[in-house]
Amino acid sequence: MRFEFATATRIVFGVGTVREVVPAAREMGRRALVVIGRSPQRAAALVAGLEAAGVACYRFAVAGEPTLELVRQGVELARQEQCDLVIGFGGGSAIDAGKAMAALLTNPGDLMDYLEVIGKGESLSVAAAPFIAVPTTAGTGAEVTRNAVLASPEHRVKVSLRSPRMLARLAVVDPELTFDLPPTITAHTGLDALTQVIEPYVSNRANPLTDGFCAEGIQRVSRALRRAYYAGHDAEARTDMSLASLFGGLALANAGLGVVHGFAAPLGGMFPAPHGAVCAALLPHGMEVNIRTLRARAPESESLRRFQKVARLLTGQPSAAAEDGVQWVREICQELNIPPLGSYGIREADVPVLVERASQASSMKGNPIVLTAEELGEVLTRAL
């Protein structure tokens, strides 16, 4: 056994911890680029606190999933204002955008020099500017991952800027920031969180350290997601979901993902569908095809035993079979009104190109068994 584990330098978790951002930021810099999501007023208290403490703030709004152009604009603003610190406050989009801007602020050259797939894929040569991540949703775990997912509309793809140098200096996870999320966002992000504790658990790169995070995360989603969906201010349920999201980030950054995220990247590049909704729509089908394929081609595999464990954690039934976990996921997707992928304009005719792109996606490398093009097509077609 050999494994590695890397994460943010410091993680602070708990209701009310957002108040700890100001004193920590003050130790890292005096001029902050504050990258925020679509509701800038949500960051108003944080910005006021920073300014009162002598940290000048330059706000940069990220309305949707970040594009290459948007990252370049943010870096330009940060250079112009001589920022020495970046804070990402928002959902996965704002945090990933901030992470990329912090990296580009200190490294020479253009974004394309460092991008996977469409760029030169060079390594970042210099440490990123200090970066503080403050998630306001519970799903992506982006506060502890080492990549930023960026869209290139020109290439119709989503690609990652990836480096251990991009890990946040500080991640502050305050479940209270998620209390007012509407049910739809709670459902999409919550099922992304669930996907991100299941895929690393059955991944061929799983290790004992990530296993603990995943098992704990699966259990918490199982007991809390419905409650958080129906009663947003249920502090206990929101805390469970924020923890599951954090654990998913810790796990996926170190153990990889699988078929669901393998499809999510190319789908998100070609269609305007939210990442969480895409993962939710694919999850039961990805699990089902993986289980069936493992039974047929690798019946003695450890991964199959792991799918059974997932089912037992989700259902709370000590005798549950792997397929019962699929059923549990299918039911919650139905109850939480997860739309099929067809509602985002994805058609049967798009299946071949998506299968081709998914089979080359970096997330697919973690899938517990290599799926054929036909099996991949089945996962996607069922989710349409």
Task: Give the list of residues 6+ apart from residue 358 with CB closer than 8 angstroms, or none.
Answer: 259, 262, 263, 265, 266, 364, 376, 380
What's the token pair of residue 18?
């957002």
Pick between residue 28 and residue 181 the one whose CB is nearest to Zn ion: 181
Q: How far is the CB of 249 from Zn ion (least distance, A)?
A: 9
Task: Determine the Cα–Cα distance for residues 205 and 291; give it in Å rounded to an integer.
Answer: 17
Three-state SS sequence of 11-49 = EEECCCHHHHHHHHHHHHCCEEEEEECCCHHHHHHHHHH
Pick between residue 257 and residue 289 the one whose CB is nearest to Zn ion: 257
Place of tokens 């944080």: 46
Helix (H, G, I), strand (E, B) or coil at 324: helix
Pick between residue 107 and residue 195 the one whose CB is nearest to Zn ion: 195
Q: How far is the CB of 311 from Zn ion (least distance, A)?
A: 21
Q: Which helix (H) or strand (E) holds 250?
A: helix 235-255
Pick between residue 245 and residue 293 the one whose CB is nearest to Zn ion: 245
Binding residues for Zn ion, per CB under 5 A? 192
Pick between residue 43 and residue 159 the one whose CB is nearest to Zn ion: 159
Q: How far is the CB of 327 from Zn ion (least distance, A)?
A: 22
Tell me the backbone φ, ψ of residue 89, rounded to 5 degrees: -130, 105
Q: How far is the CB of 257 from Zn ion (least distance, A)?
A: 7
Q: How far is the CB of 65 from Zn ion (least distance, A)?
A: 12
Q: How far is the CB of 280 from Zn ion (least distance, A)?
A: 10
Pick between residue 8 and residue 129 the one whose CB is nearest to Zn ion: 8
Pick between residue 192 and residue 378 the one whose CB is nearest to Zn ion: 192
**DSSP conformation class of 81:** T
Q: How far is the CB of 199 from Zn ion (least distance, A)?
A: 9
Burial of 117 (0-12, 13-18, 19+ CB in 10 A): middle
In the complex, residue closest to Zn ion by CB: 192
Q: Which amino acid is at 223?
A: R
Where do the DSSP E strands lie in the chain? 10-13, 31-36, 56-61, 85-90, 131-135, 147-152, 157-162, 170-173
